[in-house]
Structure 1
Amino acid sequence: MSHSKIVDDSGLIYYQTMGMYFTDQRWTSDGEPELGVGIVTETSKGRVQIHFPIAGETRQYAQEHAPLRRVVFKSGDTILDTDKRPLLIESVDVEGDLFTYSGKDWSLSEADLGDVSPKHGVDDKLSIGDVDAPAVFALRRNTLLKNHARRISPVSGFVGGRIDLIPHQLYIAHEVSTRYAPRVLLSDQVGLGKTIEACLILHRLLLNGRISRVLILVPDALVHQWFVEILRRFNLWFHLFDEERCEAIENGAPEGNPFLEDQLIICSTDFLAGSETRARQAITANWDMLVVDEAHHLEWSVDHVSPEYAIVELLSQVAEGLLLLTATPEQLGIESHFARLRLLDADRYADFDTFKNESQDQHEIADMVEALSSGQQLKPAAAKTLESIFSKDYMDVVTQGGESALHNLIEDLLDQHGPGRVVFRNTRSAMSGFPERKPHLIPIKAPNHDLWIERLTKEYAMGRDLSLSPEDQEFWFTEDPRVDWLIGLLKDLAPAKVLLICRTKEKVLALEEAVGQLSPVKVSVFHEDLNIVQRDRNAAWFSEPDGARLLLCSEIGSEGRNFQFAHHLVLFDLPIHPELLEQRIGRLDRIGQSEDIHIHVPYIIGSPQEVLVRWYHEGLKAFEENVEGGNQIAQLFVDRLLTVTSSLSSPDAKKQLQSLNADTAKYQQALKATLTNGRDRLLEMNSFRPKVADKLVAQIKEEDLDLSLETFMTDVFQHFGVDMEDLAPRTYLLHPSRTNDEPFPSVPDHGISVTFDRTRALSREDISFVSWDHPMVTGAIDMVLSSGTGSASFGILRGAGAPGMLLEVLFVLETVGGQELHVDRFLPNTPLRVVVDHTGRMVTDLYPVDTFDQQLTKGSMDHLLDNEDVMDTLLPQMISAATDIAETLSTKEISKGLKKMALTLDHEIDRLQVLHKNDKHIRPEEIELAMKERTTLTTLIKDARIRIDALLLIQKGAV
């Protein structure tokens, strides 16, 4: 077995073994140096398993690309065996696949090593003169500082989303992502962004390491939409699972579980519900988070449980966290609402009759919260009520505690409303920022009426999947009066952008051909057969001022996209289901839309389309107002609608349509009254607290405007040979230089366009939005820190007084493990900078970072390498002095971390205990988890240790 010797950034001597791994070998991780030195415990099928004893963590890697380096200790190091007996190494030999260390009286095999630390031999790179220039050390130092700031940022995980900064979305994501194993129902009204909220939660939890395995279950039609949404907006790559993919995985590993192959998975609920085998595999795969969209489609009653509900229930029992998404409020059916709540907490919601009989009268608490939020003085009776809910001591603390204590009181009061802990619901009526819908219904009288009615009846039948497959459909769009009208509309609206949505890809392509023959207008298309890159390019062309004016979208192709820069929508045909219509209009009618939207609906008089237009307009006012409860409306009225559209020649058709519209309108009015009367003020308050949300928005905006990320990445790109070509303000084309053979994270060989500007990123989805959360940035940080870049450097400080030596040492104070508990909140990996002179005296304050960055020059240290007094005596003494100073600094940081942790978790535990006494919605497990977490975090923070990360040796006063 051959070994190539490498001296790494930590100073350890590593031996690269050409990807050969054997049990009991010691390796360390480039990407996670804080794990310490690991032991190979298993190798099989191209994978290697490493246990890291100090961290108590185990990792699995693909052998071919494992970010691992072989470790061997050198002569002069002291190591321990499993009984903690020390051995001063005199020689190192290779026996078989392992190293053997020999000392004065005995030898120790690598297999019998005890706990070993990567602090051994940290000065090796300096000792052999393998050094970088001071500027490279500065890059490493800056990377450590930026990484620390990124990890402690209160909006870490939120800045990276390609989203508008909508306050209620950020509030919900913040509230949920700070909970222990969150299990909640996201039930904002249509258009308020439940999917964005869920993605924000997932993104933050994944980025902070609190979760790693996620399963998203959605209806068949939404699988692709979710994939696109979470990839394009949050750079999270989920794997789409269906029977074909599962079979392909099993062909390679017949005994394995396909759901263990990937960490992040999206699949349809029907797929799992329809296969006992796949359902069993998914249930046994262990998930940190389960996400279920369109949860109101899961049918449950006291007497009947659907297969879809049953599989979600089983998965919810094994998943730590659970996010249910539905726009259907509890007022549309208490039994249906109970069915969803029992998925969140089966113990709390165990009996339907008990749930029905619980008091929902929370008006008194709602009044108190409103008064406190607006700064009003509480009436004596209300103050007495608060003392009875909490205690007199608690209220005294609030009285003396100022704004922070008042915020905690409001938070605790809202928690008294049980469902508010698990249910979040914002409504359009409580939000601002929505446009006005302005419908334009265009009845068209067709020449040769009977022929066109025949043609449009066939088109309608194809749209309902009643007879023809898409390939069999004929179109006559060059003769179609609706297309003539469209050409005229484009001429009248010039230069405005127009989005047209119709049902199928075939119809989109036929329309593209017809418009191309009849008009010079630039046309772009968007449908499900285009890959993601093509969709991005076509959407980008539509967004450009001089680009396409008309974008033709199919039903599925438009899902998951936001075209808010356009204000004209053409509904060339109409779907039968109200939710699909709302989804179409929702491409433009979303919170944050800057202008009113114009909805153009052309139809041939006497066609089935006219029936749909009139039903939506006269029965539902769907072109003017958001339609809620679309699923229930469809169940009640779609059969009657289909009867009318299929019997237009009947003498009673007109009367049937009038009756249908009248009954639909009556039901719609009753539904609105039900929703208004059932308005839950406490639920609304708990779902959105403007002060908290505004602070989050301000913090994200501050990071967006901060140029330090752009400056940092420019330095990193320059160092690693990535060329930057200006495209627009804060926007660049990146591509590897010809001299760069090492791939850079997220930068393909053909290049990539990026922007640091959120506004530009929102209008140009073909350009990557780079933030501190982006994989390109986190990958760049890992690349700098794990590659040894700048870990040992030498510089000359001219004209700085008397000659002498200085040593700058970068330490990292790090906790070992605990990532799933988000220990970063209290003590992230913290860089500690120490500068000592040749006497060992700390002189950090005398030599700030700017002084070294501006005045240090590169030079050769060859004249020092042969100076035994410097290399063998002085340098180790300086390192030892710096280490003692760093130990003192680390004690202060640990103390600060413990104090911060206690302030946060003690309040949370007290709050949960009070709530549990008064409100059974608080699960005992939450309190137990919180107390266990506090104990574990205390141990982790107390046991934090320092690691020497980099050295900069400086010769001072040289001429």
Structure 2
Amino acid sequence: MIMIIERSSEWEEGFNNRLNHLEQWQSWTLYKMSYDTVKMKLIPDFTGLQATKYLPNLQPLKHQLEAAETVIERMNGKAILADEVGLGKTIEAGLILKEYLIRGLVKRALILAPASLINQWIEELNSKFHIPAMAYKKNCPIERYDVLIMSMDTAKKSPHKERIYEQDYDMIIIDEAHKLKNNKTQIYEFVQGLKKKFCLLLTATPIQNDVFELYYLISLLKPGHLGNYDTFQSAFSASKHHLEHDDYLKELVNQVMVRNRREDTGIDWTNRCVQIVPITFTDEEREVYDMLGALGGASSFSLITLQKEMCSSKEATALTLTNMLEDHTHSQEIEAILAKLMALEVNSKAQKTLEIVKQANDKVIIFTEYRATQIYLQWYLHANGITSVLFNGKFNKSKRDYMKHLFKERAQVLIATEAGGEGINLQFCHHVINYDLPWNPMKLEQRIGRVHRLGQEHDVHIYNLAIENTIEEKILALLHTKIDVFEKVVGDLDAILTNFKESV
């Protein structure tokens, strides 16, 4: 079959008629409508947000709009978003990304987040911001995706990191950015190597243990803003838990960090009722605790670990001691301690926990640092007629979601390890028991933030358990020191350890 293509000449008649004024060139009304449409799309200056006009499904709060405007107008798209937990840092990041997409300054973006938060990011960007974000999957053609979301653990490893380095991303967004606090880690080195035209670091806890963590975060964002390491250390007489000229340092930090506190938002928040609950060991528990502190041949780190575990449960302690038996010269001493340990019939901290749960007569979250303790507590609560579910980092997303559902609909107690302190929102609960105290005060803030966030309708009750005359008293003292450093540089914190001195 042969096709004959001929050049059309029909346009000539219409063109000549318009030249000779026999026909109009165009309807003025249509021209004006077209003109107005183009004019509306133009952005005459760089103040104010355009994105809100295109987001009918989103009603951002005032502090979220102000944060986005500050980052775009004053910080040139490179900032730490450090709002307190539950104030909507993801919304702020979405607004900023949408604004740059509309203005044509960002065409491709990479979002790095913990694996447990990837689906949450996809849902928020797609449903609220109409940004077609895609989750990274093995062997997916990443060059075809304009907005890609990837887990930190995947991104830092080969061959994924090499594939990312080959791309030209205009914006990098990193959620839970406090995971970058150590400059010697793989993920830090990976992020350091990324080209960052615009970059957002999201974390409610930019300082977790010491002031140098904030230095390394800011150095990722704006290298040289705080000088090099030696200059920074010298200028502020900085050590882990001490610094001078903190007002000047705070001024420098505020040039790259936006932080909203709950009390600054104009929202009527419920109260935090925080208390430290002192606990006394039984004589038998105290004897085992003292034996652990005097264990021969063990490193100081091992002794501290064992004492901390003993303040949690004999199950957690026994697991460590059993592992030590294989290559420890003091095996007879360990076996003697194990025998006394397993003969214990009372866990004083578990008893106090049961008392609080019964008194609350409502949903309660218990945070422990050990899975052995987690399993023991579930057994102990069940033996006393209390229903509970577990939540830990070994669960995949489906199981995590199911545990959350069971907690909301059926069980009174959720027993969580540290994995429950991130990426799960539980506003339907307002009682938190910190069964084991972490060394890091920001982990306490993360835990409490699971319930004390937008949508919470009740006062939140936090119980920090601490056994008297044990390592837990030292932990409390250190937590206060670290909180003091945070408040000097970053700003005030909501109560997480109230009445320490009066209680212990």
Q: Same fold (TM over 0.5)?
A: yes
2:260 to 426, 446, 451: 426
Give 1:556 deviation, angstroms.
0.9
Q: Answer 1 or 2: which has greater strand percent.
A: 1
1:382 alignment counterpart: none
Aligned equivalents of 1:259, 1:568: Cα separation in 2: 43
CA deviations over 1:310-340 (Å, ceiling 9, x no partner): 54343224xx5321235438x9579657624
- In structure 2, the residue corresponding to 1:509 is in which secondary structure? helix
2:206 to 299, 320, 328: 328
- In structure 2, the residue corresponding to 1:279 is in which secondary structure? helix
Residue 111 of structure 2 aligns to which amino acid in structure 1? Answer: I
1:615 to 451, 464, 474: 474
Tell me how large the CA RMSD over aligned residues is. Answer: 5.1
- Seen in structure 2, the aligned counterparts of structure 1 residues 335 and 588 have a Cα distance that, compared at 3 Å, is closer
CA deviations over 1:572-597 (Å, ceiling 9, x no partner): 22223333232222223346644432
2:63 alignment counterpart: 168
1:226 alignment counterpart: 117
1:512-531 alignment runs, 5 A limit = 512-519=378-385, 521-531=386-396
1:757-776 alignment runs, 5 A limit = none
1:833 alignment counterpart: none
1:191 alignment counterpart: 85
Residue 441 of structure 1 aligns to which amino acid in structure 2? Answer: V
CA deviations over 1:638-666 (Å, ceiling 9, x no partner): xxxxxxxxxxxxxxxxxxxxxxxxxx3xx
CA deviations over 1:510-539 (Å, ceiling 9, x no partner): 3223322221x3323323344434433432
| 1:268 is aligned to 2:152 | yes
- In structure 2, the residue corresponding to 1:556 is in which secondary structure? helix
Give 1:552 deviation, angstroms.
1.6
Aligned equivalents of 2:157, 2:178: Cα separation in 1: 19
2:404 alignment counterpart: 539
Give 1:267 deviation, angstroms.
3.0
CA deviations over 1:388-423 (Å, ceiling 9, x no partner): xxxxxxxxxxxxxxxxxxxxxxxxxxxxx9998854
2:441 alignment counterpart: 578
Give 1:198 deviation, angstroms.
5.1
2:191 to 299, 304, 312: 312
TM-score (norm 1): 0.34
Aligned equivalents of 1:554, 1:298: Cα separation in 2: 21
1:154 alignment counterpart: 52
- Seen in structure 2, the aligned counterparts of structure 1 residues 199 and 605 have a Cα distance that, compared at 3 Å, is same
- In structure 2, the residue corresponding to 1:316 is in which secondary structure? coil
| 1:214 is aligned to 2:109 | yes
1:173-184 alignment runs, 5 A limit = 173=68, 183-184=77-78
| 1:485 is aligned to 2:332 | no
Aligned equivalents of 1:599, 1:203: Cα separation in 2: 36
| 1:239 is aligned to 2:135 | yes
User: Is the 2:421–2:446 contact (alpha carbons within 8 Å) kept by the matching residues of 1?
Assistant: no
Aligned equivalents of 1:426, 1:528: Cα separation in 2: 29
Aligned equivalents of 2:227, 2:467: Cα separation in 1: 54
1:588 alignment counterpart: 451
1:379-778 alignment runs, 5 A limit = 423-427=257-261, 430-431=264-265, 433=269, 435-446=271-282, 448-450=284-286, 453=289, 457=307, 459=309, 479-494=346-361, 496-519=362-385, 521-544=386-409, 547-590=410-453, 593-605=456-468, 610-612=470-472, 614-621=473-480, 664=481, 669=484, 672-673=487-488
Residue 393 of structure 2 aligns to which amino acid in structure 1? Answer: E
User: Is the 1:338–1:352 contact (alpha carbons within 8 Å) kept by the matching residues of 2?
Assistant: no
- In structure 1, the residue corresponding to 2:52 is in which secondary structure? coil
Aligned equivalents of 2:276, 2:485: Cα separation in 1: 27
Structure 1 unaligned regions, length at least 5: 1-94, 114-151, 250-256, 357-416, 622-663, 678-959
- In structure 2, the residue corresponding to 1:542 is in which secondary structure? helix
User: Is the 2:430–2:459 contact (alpha carbons within 8 Å) kept by the matching residues of 1?
Assistant: yes
- Seen in structure 2, the aligned counterparts of structure 1 residues 467 and 332 have a Cα distance that, compared at 3 Å, is same
Aligned equivalents of 1:180, 1:283: Cα separation in 2: 28
Aligned equivalents of 2:397, 2:156: Cα separation in 1: 29
- In structure 2, the residue corresponding to 1:290 is in which secondary structure? strand
Aligned equivalents of 2:253, 2:466: Cα separation in 1: 46
User: Is the 2:391–2:420 contact (alpha carbons within 8 Å) kept by the matching residues of 1?
Assistant: yes
User: Is the 1:499–1:550 contact (alpha carbons within 8 Å) kept by the matching residues of 2?
Assistant: yes
Give 1:185 deviation, angstroms.
0.7
| 1:201 is aligned to 2:95 | yes
Aligned equivalents of 2:363, 2:384: Cα separation in 1: 18
User: Is the 2:391–2:400 contact (alpha carbons within 8 Å) kept by the matching residues of 1?
Assistant: yes
| 1:339 is aligned to 2:219 | yes
User: Is the 1:542–1:548 contact (alpha carbons within 8 Å) kept by the matching residues of 2?
Assistant: yes
Sequence identity percentage: 20
User: Is the 1:499–1:569 contact (alpha carbons within 8 Å) kept by the matching residues of 2?
Assistant: yes
Aligned equivalents of 1:507, 1:418: Cα separation in 2: 43
Aligned equivalents of 1:427, 1:311: Cα separation in 2: 31
- Bigger Rg, structure 1 or 2: 1
| 1:280 is aligned to 2:162 | yes
- In structure 2, the residue corresponding to 1:483 is in which secondary structure? helix
Aligned equivalents of 2:180, 2:77: Cα separation in 1: 17
Residue 459 of structure 1 aligns to which amino acid in structure 2? Answer: E
Give 1:482 deviation, angstroms.
2.9
User: Is the 1:526–1:558 contact (alpha carbons within 8 Å) kept by the matching residues of 2?
Assistant: no
Aligned equivalents of 1:166, 1:468: Cα separation in 2: 53
Aligned equivalents of 1:213, 1:315: Cα separation in 2: 14
Residue 161 of structure 2 aligns to which amino acid in structure 1? Answer: A
- In structure 1, the residue corresponding to 2:194 is in which secondary structure? helix
- Seen in structure 2, the aligned counterparts of structure 1 residues 597 and 157 have a Cα distance that, compared at 3 Å, is same
Aligned equivalents of 2:184, 2:420: Cα separation in 1: 33
- In structure 1, the residue corresponding to 2:471 is in which secondary structure? helix
- Seen in structure 2, the aligned counterparts of structure 1 residues 421 and 227 have a Cα distance that, compared at 3 Å, is same
Give 1:284 deviation, angstroms.
0.7
Give 1:611 deviation, angstroms.
2.1
| 1:289 is aligned to 2:187 | no
1:848-859 alignment runs, 5 A limit = none
Residue 57 of structure 2 aligns to which amino acid in structure 1? Answer: V
User: Is the 2:51–2:98 contact (alpha carbons within 8 Å) kept by the matching residues of 1?
Assistant: no
Structure 2 unaligned regions, length at least 5: 9-49, 128-132, 233-250, 293-305, 327-337, 493-504
